[in-house]
Chains A and B, each alone.
Chain A
Amino acid sequence: MKQLENAIETNELTRRFNGLVAVDRLSISVERGEVFGLLEPNGAGKTTTISMLCTILKPTSGRATVNGFDIVKQDTQVRKSIGIVFQDPSIDDRLTGRENLYMHANLYGVPPGEQKSRIDGVLKLVELEDRANDLLRTYSGGMRRRLEIARGLIHYPKVLFLDEPTIGLDPQTREHIWSYIEELRKAHDITMVLTTHYMEEADRLSDRIAIMDYGKIVASGTPSGLKETLEGDVITVKTKDADRLSSMLAGTAGILRVNVVNDRLEVTVRGGRALLPKIMETATKSGVFVEPLSLREPNLEDVFLHYTGRAIRPEGGDELHGLAAIRRRRIK
């Protein structure tokens, strides 16, 4: 029976902080074996949701089950079923990589006879075997992250939570971690819940995506399904006079939407290429200087912009290193 249930089921799950609603009557189901992406522009909703599902926070109201266990009444069983890669670093930097993993194995009740082989296995998976006996404080940010992912897997969790797994990492490391996650999914049948600020990451890894805004789900579906809900193509216009050009283009036949994102316009059009000269012409006529235009199919970023009216912006997109990175991400 248990196997047939969804990995995660929430029913009107709500959490308030002093009157502020971080999660508002959230009802989602995550099927076994799928990677479920949770996106939100800037807010506490997704991390709060994960914290509740991991039994760190109590819900204000509503119910949820993880691996068939109630998050409030059966919190110990929930904890046994899950692995978590926290948004904030959560490893002991005065211990070695291997010591951190042994500690985790003991805390999660991995039988002593199996600990060594499992630890060697996960270390191999994240390619940290040769650094395993070094103190964590000598690791780079990306290596720490990989160790945290390895740690989340030692006790063979049914559900793995990845809360911003690649935040603050450089593109190369990010790419590395993505391929680990994809590998894992193929090799083990793990359900994953992923939160991220990076649209590219969500698009690449998720089977299904839910977009949250002000604590509510505003859209959900497969990445391609969500993109298909947006009609037309997107023309990007780079200009210093984005606002002025935007008001002039609004209402033009064939233009569905115009969004201003920093110093560029995202113009959603029906009819694609045909509208390019039209936009150039309008700009030239009114003396607005534009850089060469580009046309593309809608991506997840457009979906996001469409449903929330805001561009997603990684709060911690800038690279931070060492103590600064750790301190910035202290537990709230």
Chain B
Amino acid sequence: MTEIRGIYTLWLREIKRYLRDRARIISSFVQPLLWLLIFGSGIRFSGTTIGNLTYQQYIFPGIIGQTLLFTSMFMGISVIWDREFGFLKEILVAPISRFSVFLGKMLGDSTDAVIQGIIVFALGVFLGIPLNPLTFLEALPVMILMTFGLVGIGLTVASFIDSLESFGVIQSFINLPLFFLSGALFPIRGDVPNWLQIASSFNPLTYGIDALRTIILGNAWQPLHPMYFNLLVVCCFDVVMMTIGTYAFSRRK
């Protein structure tokens, strides 16, 4: 019971901090909007269509995935911030297990990241992506599953790094390869070189975005993998990241 209340209180803290940070909420949808509006329109009107899809329709699920990825990784900063401002000590000397500490933080950060994802989802309505409430209800669990693992990466990396500056550098080393190799911006099949296809098959985001695309674009999209397989990979990724993350939080100097 103590553990559950501990997890709850850590979750609540992340939510409160997030909701009080208006600048972060507003800036959160500016970047996806730029991708969809400028990059998407540019490529689309240069004559690129993918199957029967306009380019914007094609990248929309990818940009949701990108938002989840970038936000989740960014959440790692909260660990460094807590360490910098001493708050991490207060949590680490509390009589709850390190697994609970990790879980509470992960759930809190995931909630924040999923909220960002939902905001981007809503942008799609204005961009003429055919969406309905059912699509949203189907996409939401997939978004949540993807986020757990991605937040796990952010928290794990942050727990090994001492300063905000180096975290920024490492973050972009992780973000961009995962983003470019996920099929978010171009379909990874057909004439795309083999090495690129192989690399992207090791990227958990590939499966998450494929699942989102299957749900959002329906028949207009020919899935890379069956739905069950995509979800299975994402779940395995979550379990692995939670294990590694708990270990990273349990290290005592």
Flag if A331 contacts B91 (CB, 8 Å): no
The verdict on A107 contacting B13 (CB below 8 Å), with A58-B252, A93-B85 known, is no
Is the beta-carbon distance between A107 and B94 smaller than 8 angstroms? yes
Interface locus among A76-84, A239-247, A287-295: A76-84
Within 8 Å of chain B (Cβ to Cβ): is A278?
A: no
B22 within 8 A of A: no
Contact between B92 and A56 (Cβ–Cβ < 8 Å)?
A: yes
**A107 in contact with B87 given A79-B94, A95-B17 (CB within 8 Å):** no
Instruction: Out of A57, A104, A331, name the residue touching B252 (CB < 8 Å).
Output: A57
Let me know if A331 and B8 touch, CB within 8 A: no
Residues of B within 8 A of A79 (CB): 93-95
Structural contact, B253 and A90, CB atoms closer than 8 A? no
The count of chain B contact residues (Cβ–Cβ below 8 Å) is 30
Give the interface centre of A99, A103, A108, A330 by most chain B CB atoms within 10 Å. Answer: A103
Please determine whether B86 and A331 come into contact, CB atoms closer than 8 angstroms.
yes
| Beta-carbon contact of A94 and B9 below 8 Å | no
B253 touches A84 (CB 8 A): no
* CB-contact partner of A99 in B16, B88, B252, under 8 A: B16
Contact of B9 among A56, A107, A330 (CB under 8 A): A107
A56 near B89 with CB under 8 A, answer: yes
Give the secondary structure class of A's interface.
loop
| A-B pairs under 8 A by CB, number | 91
Interface residues of A (CB under 8 A from B): 54-58, 76-77, 79-80, 82, 84, 86, 88-95, 99, 102-104, 106-109, 112, 326-327, 329-331
- A90-B90 in contact (CB<8A): yes
> Are B9 and A102 neighbours in the complex by a CB distance under 8 Å?
yes
Taking a contact as CB atoms closer than 8 A, the residue among B90, B96, B97, B252 that contacts A91 in the complex is B90
Indicate which residue in A57, A82, A86, A103 contacts B86 across the interface (CB closer than 8 Å). A86
- A89 surroundings in chain B (CB, below 8 A): 85-86
Across the interface, which residues of A come within 8 angstroms of B17, CB to CB?
92, 94-95
State the CA gap A331–B83 with chains docked (Å): 7
Inter-subunit contact A107/B91 (CB<8 Å): yes
Given contacts A76-B95, A95-B13, A327-B84, contact A106 B8 (CB under 8 A): yes
Distance in angstroms between the alpha carbons of A80 and B12 in the assembled complex: 22
CA distance A103 to B92 in the complex (A): 13
Nearest Cβ in chain A — how far from B136, in angstroms? 30
Q: Which residues of B are found within 8 Å of A112, using beta-carbon distances?
A: 5
Query: Is B27 at the interface (CB under 8 A from chain A)?
Result: no
Q: Are B83 and A103 in contact (CB under 8 A)?
A: no
A82 vs B90: C-alpha distance in the bound complex, in angstroms? Answer: 12
Cross-chain contact B20 with A94 (CB below 8 angstroms)? yes
A18 CB, nearest partner CB in chain B, Å: 12
Residue B6 is within 8 A (CB to CB) of chain A in the complex: yes
In Å, the complex CA distance between A64 and B95 comes to 18
Residues of A close to B92: CB separation below 8 A:
56
10 contacts between A and B (CB under 8 A): A57-B252, A84-B93, A90-B90, A93-B85, A99-B16, A104-B94, A106-B8, A109-B2, A326-B85, A327-B84
Contact A109 B93 (CB under 8 A): no
The answer to whether A58 touches B253, judged by C-beta atoms less than 8 angstroms apart, is: yes
B16, B89, B96, B252: the one contacting A107 at CB < 8 Å is B96
Is there contact, CB below 8 Å, between B85 and A107?
A: no
Would A56 and B252 count as touching, CB distance under 8 A? yes
Residue pair A88, B86 in contact (C-beta under 8 Å): yes
